[in-house]
Each structure stands twice: as structure tokens, then as C-alpha cells.
Amino acid sequence: MTEKDFLPKAYDAMPEEGKATWKAPSNIALIKYWGKHKGQIPANPSISFTLDACATTTSVHYEKKGPKKTDFSFDLFFEGKPKEDFKPKIQTFFERIEPYVPFLKGYDLVIETSNSFPHSSGIASSASGMAALSLCLMEIEKQLDPEMTREHFLRKASFLARLGSGSACRSIEGDLITWGEHSGIPESSNLYGMKYPFEVHPIFKNYHDTILLVHKGQKQVSSTVGHNLMNGHPFANERFKQAHGNMERLKGILADGNLEAFMALVESEALTLHAMMMTSTPYFILMRPGTLEIINKIWEFRKETKTPICFTLDAGANVHVLYPESVKEKAIQFIQDELVGHCENGHYLCDRIGKGAIKL
């Protein structure tokens, strides 16, 4: 598919008003997207677990506006309060997606959004937020084009979400989502995320992700700045090649249920992401002392007890602790006894692999 396939048909009639509400989850990448080309095209393929508990709920009320208003018209409320500082990001998003949702300028919109996770928990809500908003916009488009298939609805929601925040395109469906062209994944696309199409061993079906909030403040480096650091990065091409290779290896691992190999690959991906940041110009260290303490304790515990528990990181200090359902009690006990002490105010979030966004 190409971008042109997401241009809408001519609409016959526009509904006067209505409201759409969707809840979309966050996701955690196993193979990381880091580096992009113009138009939010990823420099390498990535794959993520869709999460369940960490989610954004967004509703969009739309009402036909008078012919005189020519620009986008929207009010934005976050957790019940007007949120002016989110507006420029939404404005930019609307400008990017306008060719694909031209009806937008025909409506006054009221966007109300809230997160299931606490405000300023250091968890980025851009993936779940952009996914939920894109699904609401697709809901409006569906009113205009009732024949639209579910497949097109979800695919275009992912396509739009990508234009808001790259990884958001992996927050539409569950439970393992891949995004970015890869020679070993038929129909994989740089334009949208899709369900991982191969066999997955049952051990990965109920995976847990306990998110340890080591640092709850704003991210030191925004992902826009971070992706740009890959332009001209001395190791960028090798990294992109490595991601392709890791995707191929992961296929075998996911089919066999080889947890040893899974943990090694996932941890290496996380550390490579951080290594890219440490070796860019300018350079950054996004881990905190607590991050390293946690990593070392996970390694020690795994060695001593043979419990298959590993970590991954996104572009910050927080640690995602990943483990299968079968070791849940042991893992939670260990997390509470040994790791929570390294979290800011002892805060952590228990999440697990999820089935994707839902319409409310």
C-alpha cells in the first residue's frame, strides 16, 4: 500500500454532530525504533508488545461549523481541564494528516483526554494518546464512509497515529505488533503497524511488564531530538542492519519459546538504544543510578534463581521488567523486595500484554 491508499473517497454528506470515544493502550518495543526519515518513516523495523493497563481514553465531540471558519478549530481538555500547552502538538498533527482526513476543517472539535497512569509518572503518553485520537478521527470518517472495512479502519488509524508519533502506530491492535519494512515479514510496511503474522509460542501470550518509575520527571531528551541524533551518527547504519537481523532472529525465538535467547535479544536492544544516545553528538546518559542498580539486581536474581525475568528500557531512566505468567508470584515478590526501593517514591505500575484499543 502507498500513502495514496489512505486518501478518502469523496463524501456525500457530513453528519451535523456526534461524539467518538476510544481507549488506546501504550506499547513497549522489543526491537526499538530509533532513527527516522522524512514523513515519519522509520529507519528500521520494530516490534512491540501492546500493553493493557497503561492507556489513554480520548473522546472527540464534533459539530459542523460555519463556512467562515477556515482553519482547524478545536478545544482540548486533559483530565477535565483546558490544556493549552498540548495544542501546538495537535495542531501540527492535524496539519500533517489533513490530506487524509479533509473533513477535519469542517468541524468544531472538543477533544477530552485522560490517562490511566498518573500524571507526570514519566510514562510517555504520546503513543497511546495519538492512537486514541486517531481512532476517534477514524470513527468520524466511518460516519462519512459507512462501507469502510474494519481492516481499513484499523490500518488507517495506525497510519494516522504514525504521523502523530511514530511508535503510536503500534498502539492500535494487540498483542504483538510490527512496524517497518522487513524482508522476512510479508506485507510489512513503513506506513503502519500490523499484527505480527507468524506463530508465537504460548509462553509469550500472557507476558507481564512491571514498569519501575525510577525517574518521574520530564524526559531529558525528547524523542524528536533523539531520532535526529541518528542522522550522521557514526554507528547508525550498523545499528539499522542489526535491527533487521534481530527481527529475523526474533521470529525463531518467538516460535520456539526460547526464553534465554529472548531475554538476551531484548536486553541487548535496550542497551543498544542507550548506547546510541551515549555515542551521539551531543551525547546523553538517560539511565540513572537506580536504573543500573535495578539491571544488576535483575541479572543477579536471574543467575541465582534461574527465573526468566529480564528488562527493557525506552528513551529514559524507567525500567520495564518483563516476565512470563508462569513466574508471576516469584517476580512480583522479587520486585517488591529488591527493586521498588530504587523507584521514585516507591512507585511502579503493573501491566501486561494486551489486546489493543477499544471503542467506548
Residues forming the site for ligand PMV (CB under 6 A): 29, 32-34, 46, 126, 165-167, 223, 273, 314-315
Is the separation of the CB atoms in 108 and 63 below 8 Å? yes
CA distance 228 to 340: 33
Q: Which DSSP category does 35 fall into?
A: -
Pairwise CA distance, residues 36 & 231, whole Å: 8
- Cβ nearer to ligand PMV, comparing 144 with 317: 317
Compute the least distance from the CB of residue 34 to ligand PMV, in Å: 6
Pick the closer one to ligand PMV by CB: 7 or 275: 275
Which helix (DSSP H) or strand (DSSP E) does residue 289 occupy? helix 289-305
Closest CA to 193 of 164, 163, 171, 224: 171
CA-to-CA dists, residue 203 to 50, 75, 185, 303, angstroms: 16, 44, 22, 20
315 vs 335, which CB is nearer to ligand PMV? 315
- Closer residue to ligand PMV (CB): 7 or 283: 283
**C-alpha closest to that of 48 among 332, 299, 270:** 270
In the bound state with ligand PMV, the residue whose beta carbon lies nearer, of 114 and 125, is 125
> Which residues partner with 195 through β-bridges?
177
Q: How far is the CB of 126 from ligand PMV (least distance, A)?
A: 5
As a dihedral over the C-alpha atoms of residue 184, residue 355, residue 114, residue 222, rounded to 10 degrees, the angle is: -20
Shortest Cβ 217–ligand PMV spacing (Å): 17
Q: Which residue lies nearer to ligand PMV by CB, 32 or 182?
A: 32
Q: How far is the CB of 226 from ligand PMV (least distance, A)?
A: 7
Residue 202 vs residues 253, 255, 256, 326: alpha-carbon distances, Å: 12, 9, 10, 11
Rounded CA separation 4/193 (Å) = 17
Q: Which is nearer to ligand PMV, 114 or 318 (CB)?
A: 318
**Least distance in angstroms from the C-beta of 317 to ligand PMV:** 13
Query: Minimum Å distance from CB 292 to ligand PMV?
Result: 18
Q: State the nearest-atom distance from the C-beta of 224 to ligand PMV, in Å.
A: 7
Q: Which three-class secondary structure string do you get for 103-158?
A: HHHHEEEEEEEEECCCCCCCCCCHHHHHHHHHHHHHHHHHHHCCCCCHHHHHHHHH
At its nearest, how many Å lie between ligand PMV and the CB of residue 286?
Answer: 10
Identify which of residues 140 and 191 has a Cβ nearer to ligand PMV in the complex.
Answer: 191
CA distance 14 to 26: 32
